[in-house]
Amino acid sequence: MEYTYQKNNTSRKFLLLIFLALIISFLAMKVSTETFSLITYNNHATEKHGNEAEIVRKCLNDFGGIHKFFNPNTQRYAEICFLEAGKFGIQITEDGNEITSFIKNKMSTLKQVLYYLENTGYTNQIY
Q: Which helix (H) or strand (E) holds 87?
A: strand 87-94
SS3 content of the chain, % helix, strand, coil (to 5): 45, 25, 30
* Mean pLDDT of the region 104-119: 96
Domain boundaries defined on the chain = 8-37, 38-125
Q: b/e map of 66-95 (b: 16 or more CB within 10 Å)?
A: ebbbbbeeeebbbbbbbbeeebbbbbbbee
Label residue 32 by pLDDT band (50, 70, 90): very low
Residues 71-95: tens digit of each pLDDT: 999 999 999 999 988 999 999 999 9
What's the whole-model pTM score?
0.69
pLDDT at position 36, please? Answer: 55
The span from the CA of 35 to the CA of 113, in Å, is 23
